[in-house]
Amino acid sequence: MISHNIVPNISVDCVVFGFDFKKLNVLLVERELKDEESGKLLIKDHTLTGYHIFEDEDLDTAANNILKNLTGLDNIFLEQFAAFGQLDRVAGDKDKVWLKYINKGFAERIVTVGYLALIDNTKVTLHLKDKNVQWFPVNKINGMEMAFDHKHIFYKALEALQRKVKVEPIAFELLPDYFTLSQLQKLYEALLGTSFDKRNFRKKVSQMHYVIPLKKKQKGVPHKPAQLYLFSREVYDKTRKGKISFII
């Protein structure tokens, strides 16, 4: 029997990153609350995508279900990166008002497990019932107001992502199946907050046997079509020897 009872003191929060070929973005949900009598706006900020786990869910299943409901996609890159259990996680005045308003039986102290998720923007149409869900540039988050400790969780996720892209080929999860070298360079620059010399970058990529050139070029672009490439997980697994540096 499927349980619809939540675990009141355990939740998962997904930090969902996407890349639009220009900048790195993170997915946020708008949180808004108005006074029912006066119409006065009491709360207007943003949260990460997450929820409490249900009694018959493990953590990974809960996170996967959240992303499935949001994107309609299966097999999204999803990985735990940290747990958050500070005593004051949900102790802010606005957060107390919000929890009282939604009245879902959540505990006064909640531990959340953070998940890092990477999505190819070209494959997803976002939908979350009765919620406003949007992509925001990661460099705008510092100036935004966020619920609970979600800004802290976001920055921890960004740090984890920046560490991982230097030693694992997870950056390719943010690209479509076929991509150009310019798009790949812009992605790494956006991820690491830096810029690379074009010649040196392409020299480094040429040594990555798992980045395979195709006999295909871009279509429908207003400039000279560039050659397309793909990332081969099979070739990567066969050719890697120990730790590989993805620092360009």
The pLDDT tens digits for 3-46 are 578 999 999 999 999 999 999 999 999 999 988 888 889 999 99
199 belongs to a structural domain: yes
Structure tokens at 228: 């397309």
Longest dimension (CA), the chain: 65
Decide if 48 contacts 148 (C-beta within 8 A).
Answer: no
Range of the domain at 187: 173-239
User: Is position 152 within any domain?
Assistant: yes
- What's the pLDDT score for residue 195? 92
Rounded percentage of the chain residues whose pLDDT exceeds 70 = 94
pLDDT in tens, 73-96: 788 899 999 999 999 898 888 988
CATH code of residue 36: 3.90.79.10
Strand-pair partners of 10: 111
pLDDT at site 99: 87
Cβ–Cβ under 8 Å, residues 154 and 48: yes
Please check whether residues 126 and 87 belong to one and the same domain: yes
Q: Are residues 29 and 103 in the same domain?
A: yes
Which tens digit of pLDDT belongs to each residue from 143-173? Answer: 999 999 999 999 999 999 999 999 899 999 9
Question: How many domains, the chain?
Answer: 2
**Residue 243 in this model has a pLDDT that exceeds 70:** no
**One domain, residues 84 and 29:** yes
Residue 1 lies in a domain: no
Residues 64 and 137 in one domain: yes
Least confident of 46-50, 77-81, 215-219, 242-246: 242-246
Query: Are 40 and 147 within one domain?
Result: yes
pTM, full prediction: 0.91
Query: Which strand (E) or helix (H) includes residue 62?
Result: helix 59-71
Final residue in a domain of this structure, among 164, 196, 216: 164
User: What is the domain-level CATH number for residue 188?
Assistant: 1.10.10.10
- Tell whether the model's pLDDT for residue 188 goes beyond 90: yes
| Residue 187 and residue 149 share a domain | no
> Is 231 found in the same domain as 122?
no
The alpha helices in 8-58, defined as continuous H runs, are: none
Nearest-CA neighbor of 64 among 80, 84, 48, 83? 80
Higher pLDDT, 239 or 68: 68
Residue 240's contacts (CB-CB under 8 Å, 6 or more residues apart) are: none
Which of 164, 195, 225 marks a domain boundary? 164
The verdict on residue 244 lying in a domain is: no
Short-list 41, 24, 23, CA closest to 33: 41
